[in-house]
Structure 1
């Protein structure tokens, strides 16, 4: 409270007593499976099919992850997490390039494991802003892994990084920039890359002689500061570039350093020579093996010679510091992983998907990457349709600390008879309420266009999208099933079921996908795999998950508050307000709030012993909505009624 010291009005804010609870997300899915590319060490959130393609590639022949994610978004999904599973012997592609003095110095490797890395094409050029010291890397990807295009530069670059440095202290250090910003490659500066030259300034080719009266320019050696170089008058008539080079060397050697910290040999050991490949001038600092060594040239204010000598930026020259030779040599096209080992390539190792056998445990090991996530509520391992996989998936969901996930499973691809689905159900050993199983597989148009006939796909991706669509339109308490629960993108089924077939599977907790005239192909089951009648239905279990997570997240503020009636009242008010809002949305059974739910937190739920132990107990009960699974209509005749 504000200190009251003068007559007047004092205004302050106070809590209204009600702390609102947010409804937890119920439709963010997690998919575990094989992908063409992408990280395999963590779960990554993707928000669209385009986003998935950018991170994980496109459709593959050895898994159903991409197809299922595509159909998830096609059926109403908004975002999902991807856990990529790779074989233990999978490797990432890499290629090593020589630096500018021919030493094996730089390795570029695909960002993650797999054969896909062999399709990356690199182009190395001089940097735009500082071509002497930095380089530009353009990354492309060939369409056909077996054919390098005749003109790779015609392919649009997927990523371009300009002005990359080989100086570890630079904010543009190539290793750091690619490591944090590229989704395609990493870079490594090799230990063998230790070549350090004297800093130099490389003039452009074709100096114009004689200089006549233009005999001045300014030079900065090893950061000592700019000083004017005045060539002797006789140099103005020289027509041999070597004579001018000798005059420059003599003049710079005669300069006196301006800073105490500057090594005197920067000037006393200075050289200026003619590059026979030019011809052009090479001005080199006298300090050897000094990464900070440098030579900078700029125009003089009067009688400037730098333009005629092709020195400085205006003359087309460029400066290179002591470690500029460490940067990779320019190359028009280098194929990562599959490049021939010939200069400038010093080594290459092809990427591979591996040949090890996949097991259910390998996919289940991927569940651990979801442990730290709190906003995911659905789990699927599309295509890995075995009883053992379903057991592991439902077991993981039930054993998470908050029990906040629901597993969507499916029967096997070859299970096309009622007896097959029954056998699948009987093999399950983890028949809890944290999962549902769908039958049969569906047929869809091949998204790759390679097959004219429909291909078989697992239903879990479709159903996960349906869950999200239903949650958004009606709420998690609405069963994701019925004639309105159409599966977009389905053109057929591996098994067309009759009412009798459905009647045999429904009591076993197998949810079926059926075709109905006028409605198309729909999900027509909403049962968990549990035999417990309290948790028989998918919407009941998922509503309970939503309530548990929402209340857990919404009352964190109560920790360490004084444990007395004031706190209990606030908890009753906050949770009661949240439950009332859900009741008004139609989430619970009952005509009044008192019939639909209760929230109890008082001296009966929290005894003095609880208070002494720092415990406050809140009891929340709700009357769940259960789907009208069986609609019975009784028809009778009435005769002889008088009009």
Structure 2
């Protein structure tokens, strides 16, 4: 109890009354199956609609080669048609399912696609230019050296050369280069045309690997480009003096060696750099005379003709001593090892940062002659990935400001969120933009070598192994998701797999399995298939369904488990888990001939007593689920809704009473437990899930000395006995009709 050691007012919070129990969800499904792509490791992934499934796991699977198809489809004991899994998922959502956890099953011999980049300098063309054009706009100019540089132009579709040219001028901001001679053929951005400087090297720099195994990875492409991570202003050297702004006081002819400007504060005799129009010029300032100053340009200076009144302003140098250090605004954006590119207006040069102290940055070589109007470009990387699935859907990713310096693992960390690739830095990696990672040809690297290895896929891959939380595979991985209440392995009728699925449900005691029979079975065949099973935690449905495969437009038979799991979810949401998931229209199949076999009443007279739920067609009512029985020989558990109701009650009470653990085990606690459980069951009864006209008829809760012995108390056991009366479905509706003799009435 709390301590009261000094006078005062004390406010305490105490628990009063029972704690509410919230009913758990019963409409969340879990499935394991083969998909086009998607994570093969980790926990099952939640998808809430079929579009989300396609984004994560791909579209529909093609039928495998004849050898693999026949080995699985022709095996009555340990076979299946696992390539129908995406159609079963679609059936789940078509029938009202809203939450599905999917665990991808892959062959143990499956391999991911991969590819390596060499290094070189490539820049994509980003705007079309016609034949004869003298300028081209590029994706970047990082790594270029400026005027006088030789470049090659190439087509992006077949990597054939378009021509070579010399850079005669450039604009770093707009990424536009002037070329001589003019283009001999048009360049096209949409075609992927690009400019290449020098030759490419095969020395490996980065290795990209698809995030999961399978042939899907051969559709992944990767591109890495240098980008400007930051454009930082150069600060003037403190010894450069004050700024001044003045104007021309007289016209100046083109290339005249002197100009006359108005006297201004800060304009002192001596060497100065000035900006006149767009140009920057070095000049010697003379002594003022009559409010005017003569500026004498350095020998060889050329310029346009200027008019009186044109503005003249001083530009201060940043590196007058020609040393390795510069003052840079925003220097905190730089870091040791960072690569920067300088632009002096005619040439581009690259340096590496050695140290940063306040706004002073030291480089690995002499900094070029720069001015306060210049900018320093921080060179980093941008990695683009793209994937186009067979259906034409394209997924793209962009990762910017990736550092290629320092710890090589930083590149992998930058792509940790990628849904398409992982990356490994190799010894040849360089942050120098002139030696950036590039493929052997073109701008994009296409991954190759991915293999699903369907020939080695086995039932063991569907069963899975328990490697611990997050490292489980197959059916076993569904254990990682506590919310799952219905599970299936659509299209797989292998005895080993279905036995593992049943064991999974019976062990966890909070979920129910929907099994698929082999396709093409007749009435005798389905009865023989059902014989090995005796479980209250699974149900079997017959026959298979017929739907249209959207990827081919052809009719195809699909396993019923996906559609049935969706119906379970729909009925749970609309009516409750106590309602039998039967007499419900099956959606997502052909409106006519949507069932692979025609089941009549005489057929069902044989199937129903054996716990085989029939899917039937009724004129005017459509194609419906016409059975709600489990595979149990125990008549107490023969109905699906009764078994799932108890799973719901048990799981809800288990989660809602965990607060009881380690509480003092006495009468006060027992009373709280009784009231807590009674309140919950009263709510369940009022929803129509329990039989009885009163709550006392519907359930009882006992938790007192009659349910516990002294030995139980001494061993820390609290025993609560609960009895409920479930509502059984009206499976057989009987109307007894008899003849009634006419009675004569006397007046």
Q: Give the TM-score taking structure 1 as reference length.
A: 0.71
- Secondary structure, counterpart of 2:224 in structure 1: strand
- CA distance in structure 2 between the partners assigned to 1:187 and 1:196 by the alignment: 12
1:122-142 per-position Cα deviation (integer Å, ceiling 9, x unaligned): 222222425753211222224
Deviation of 1:98 after TM superposition, in Å, equals 1.8
CA distance 1:338–1:11, change in 2 (3 Å): closer
Where does the alignment leave 5 or more consecutive residues of structure 1 unmatched? 146-153, 198-321, 340-349
How many angstroms does 1:157 deviate by?
5.4
SS at match of 2:683: helix
- Residues in 1 aligned to 2:735 and 2:655: alpha-carbon distance in whole angstroms: 44
**Cα distance change of structure 1 residues 165 and 627 upon mapping to structure 2, 3 Å threshold:** same
Work out which of the residue numbers 93, 109, 113 in structure 2 matches 1:93. Answer: 113
Contact 2:205 2:428 in 1 (8 A): no
Contact 2:94 2:587 in 1 (8 A): no
Asked whether 1:506 is paired with 2:742, we answer no
1:443 aligns with 2:444: no
| Residue of structure 1 equivalent to 2:450 | 351
Whole-Å Cα distance in 1 between the matches of residues 402 and 618 of structure 2? 61
Deviations 1:205-246 (A, max 9, x none): xxxxxxxxxxxxxxxxxxxxxxxxxxxxxxxxxxxxxxxxxx
The aligned runs of 1:314-325 (5 Å cut-off) are none
Aligned: 1:161 with 2:403: no
Q: Is the 8 A contact 1:120 1:139 kept in 2?
A: yes
Q: Distance in 2 between matches of 1:331 and 1:567?
A: 74
Change (3 A) 1:326 1:65: farther
The superposition leaves residues 227-286 of structure 1 with CA deviations (integer Å, 9 ceiling, x where unpaired) of xxxxxxxxxxxxxxxxxxxxxxxxxxxxxxxxxxxxxxxxxxxxxxxxxxxxxxxxxxxx
Match of 1:68 among 60, 75, 88: 88
Q: Is the 8 A contact 1:119 1:336 kept in 2?
A: no
**Cα distance, 1:473–1:482 mapped onto 2, change above 3 Å:** same
Matched residue, 2:45: 44
1:594 correspondence with 2:679: no
Range with bigger deviation, 528-537 or 92-101: 92-101
Q: 1:8, 1:164 → 2: CA distance? A: 60
Deviations 1:133-184 (A, max 9, x none): 3211222224559xxxxxxxx99652111222224669x93311212x1111
- Is structure 2 residue 497 aligned with structure 1 residue 389? yes
Residue 221 (structure 2) aligns with: 121
Query: As a proportion of its length, which structure holds more strand?
Result: 2
CA distance in 2, matches of 1:45, 1:585: 29
1:173 alignment counterpart: 410
| Residues 30-41 of structure 1: pairs in structure 2 closer than 5 A | 30-41=30-41
Distance 2:512 2:652 in 1: 16
Measured after TM superposition, the shift of residue 607 of structure 1 is 1.9
Q: Does 2:376 match 1:138?
A: no
In the TM superposition, what whole-angstrom CA distance separates every residue of 1:24-50 from its partner, at most 9, and x where no partner exists? 111111111110001112311112212
Q: Which runs of 5+ in 2 are unaligned?
A: 64-82, 121-200, 231-376, 466-474
Paired residues of 1:444 and 1:490 also in contact (CA < 8 A): no
Superposed counterparts of 1:433-582, under 5 Å:
433-448=536-551, 451-483=552-584, 491=592, 492-582=594-684
Q: 1:79 to 1:98 in 2, by over 3 A?
A: same
Post-superposition shift, 1:483? 4.7
Whole-Å separation in 2 of the counterparts to 1:91 and 1:583 = 54
Give distance in 2, aligned partners of 1:68 and 1:335. Answer: 36
- Greater shift, 57-66 or 2-11, is seen at 2-11
What is the CA distance between 1:64 and its match in structure 2?
Answer: 1.7
1:518-553, Cα deviation, whole Å (9 max, x unpaired):
221111110001111010000011011111111111
Residue matched to 1:56 = 57
Deviations 1:600-620 (A, max 9, x none): 111121222111111111111
Helix, strand or coil: the match of 2:557? Answer: strand
Cα gap change, 1:334 to 1:54, in 2 (>3 Å):
farther
Matched residue of 1:159: which SS?
strand
Mapped contact 1:75–1:488 kept (Cα < 8 A): no
Which has the higher Rg, Structure 1 or Structure 2?
2
In structure 1, the partner of 2:707 is 605
Q: CA RMSD of the aligned region, Å?
A: 2.8
Whether the 8 Å contact between 1:446 and 1:455 is mirrored in structure 2 is: yes
Asked if the contact 2:404/2:429 (under 8 Å) is kept, the reply is no
1:105 corresponds, among 195, 201, 205, to 205
Residue 615 and residue 473 in structure 1: after superposition, are their counterparts in 2 closer, same or farther (change >3 A)?
A: same
Give the superposition deviation at 1:360. Answer: 2.7
Aligned equivalents of 1:334 and 1:471: distance in 2? 53
The separation in 2 between residues aligned to 1:377 and 1:168, in whole angstroms, is: 49
Instruction: Give runs of aligned pairs for residues 226-241 of structure 1, distance below 5 A.
Output: none
Show CA shifts across 1:276-312 (max 9, x none): xxxxxxxxxxxxxxxxxxxxxxxxxxxxxxxxxxxxx
Determine the C-alpha separation between the residues in 2 that align with 1:434 and 1:330.
55
Q: What SS does the corresponding residue of 1:463 show, helix, strand or coil?
A: helix
Secondary structure (helix, strand or coil) at the match of 1:36 reads coil
Distance 2:221 2:208 in 1: 11
**Higher helix fraction: Structure 1 or Structure 2?**
1
1:76-475 matches, cutoff 5 A: 76-100=96-120, 103-130=203-230, 133-143=379-389, 158-167=396-405, 173-179=410-416, 181-190=417-426, 194=427, 328-329=437-438, 350-365=449-464, 367-400=475-508, 403-415=509-521, 417-426=522-531, 429-448=532-551, 451-475=552-576
Aligned-partner Cα distance in 1 for 2:227–2:674: 64
Shift of the 509–155 alpha-carbon distance from structure 1 to 2, 3 Å rule, reads closer
> What displacement does 1:386 show?
3.5
